[in-house]
Amino acid sequence: MSKKMHTTLKVNGKQEEFLAEPRELLIYTLRERLNITGPHIGCETSHCGACTVTIDGKSVKSCTMFAAQAEGAEITTIEGLGGPDDLHPLQEAFKEHHGLQCGYCTPGMITRATKLLEEIPNPTEEEIRFGMAGNICRCTGYQNIVKSIQAAATEMNAAKEAAE
């Protein structure tokens, strides 16, 4: 067994500090060590996206990254996007447009979508489908996920305009 590594992370605004083996995967750190169970494990090969989190502004699949690689990073998971009193527009839109069924892919899906809408605030359907292709859903057939993201984009753009 290798020497444990001192790791510091900022997760959903909270500073975390711990000793972990170099082989500890980030998804394990989040789910087992920090009890942040929104991100899920679906494939362990970076294909399904259920474990998607945002690390320093980028969408990352946390099942194939070591915690040690994230040293010093700022991480946002679904839990950091919005809660009961301040839902993120994407959380609202997925509910409103039936963008989920079993819910297992949803945390990763919504977390990825927040970055997509930062990258492309007004995406076409094609851009949404391409930009979300790293996240697999087995239930919805994606049609309502696309609809949800479009609706959230409209909502977010309107809010932005109103604020300007």
Partner 1 sequence: MKDEVDNREDRVANLKGMGCSRKRVEDARFTQGKGNYVDDVKLDGMLFGDFVRSPYAHARITSINTEEALKVPGVLAVLTAADLEPLGLHWMPTLAGDKQMVLADGKVLFQGQEVAFVVAQDRYAAADGIEAVEVEYEELPVIVDPFESLKSDVILREDLDPTADGAHGPRKHPNHIFTWEAGDKEPTEEVIANAEVVAEEEMYYHRTHPCPLETCGCVASMDKVNGKLTLWGTFQAPHAIRTVVSLISGIEEHNIRVISPDIGGGFGNKVGAYPGYVCSVVASIVTGKPVKWIEDRMDNLMTTAFARDYWMKGKISATKDGKITGLHCHVTADHGGFDACADPTKFPAGFMNICTGSYDIPTAYLEVDGVYTNKAPGGVSYRCSFRVTEAVYFIERMIEVLAIKLNMDAAELRRINFIKKEQFPYTAALGWEYDSGDYHTAWEKALTTVDYDGLRAEQAQRVEDFKAGKTRKLMGIGLSFFTEIVGAGPVKNCDILGLGMFDSCEIRIHPTGSAIARLGTISQGQGHATTFAQILASEIGLPADSITIEEGDTDTAPYGLGTYGSRSTPVAGAATAMAGRKIRAKAQMIAAYLLEVHDNDVEFDVDRFVVKGAPEKFKTMKEIAFAAYNQAIPGIEPGLEAVSYYDPPNMTYPFGAYVCVMDIDVDTGVPEIRRFYALDDCGTRINPMIIEGQVHGGLTEALAVALGQEIAYDDMGNCKTGTLMDFFLPTAWEVPNYETDYTVTPSPHHPIGAKGVGESPHVGGVPCFSNAVQDAFRPFGNTHTNMPHDHWRIWKMANDLGLHD
Give residues in contact with partner 1 (CB under 8 A).
Answer: 1, 21, 23-24, 28, 31-32, 35-45, 47-48, 50, 77-79, 82-84, 87, 91, 94-96, 98, 100-107, 110, 128-130, 132-146
Q: Least separation, in Å, of the C-beta of 15 and partner 1?
A: 20
Q: Least separation, in Å, of the C-beta of 121 and partner 1?
A: 19
Q: Least separation, in Å, of the C-beta of 6 and partner 1?
A: 18
Residue nearer to partner 1 on the CB measure, 70 or 94:
94
Closest CA to 108 of 77, 131, 139, 81: 77
**Which helix or strand (DSSP H or E) is residue 55 part of?**
strand 52-55
The four Cα atoms 95, 100, 105, 107 give a dihedral, to 10 degrees, of: 0
Residue at 89: amino acid letter: P
Using the 8-state DSSP alphabet, how is residue 81 labeled?
A: T
Q: Least separation, in Å, of the C-beta of 164 and partner 1?
A: 28
Tokens at residue 89, please?
């527009």
Residue nearer to partner 1 on the CB measure, 1 or 163:
1
Using the 8-state DSSP alphabet, how is residue 44 labeled?
A: S
> Rounded to the nearest 5°, which phi and psi values hold at 110?
-70, -40
Q: Least separation, in Å, of the C-beta of 79 and partner 1?
A: 5
Residue nearer to partner 1 on the CB measure, 16 or 163:
16
- Answer whether 120's CB lies under 8 Å from 129's CB: no
- Answer whether 116's CB lies under 8 Å from 148's CB: no
Residue nearer to partner 1 on the CB measure, 8 or 37:
37
Residue nearer to partner 1 on the CB measure, 63 or 70:
63
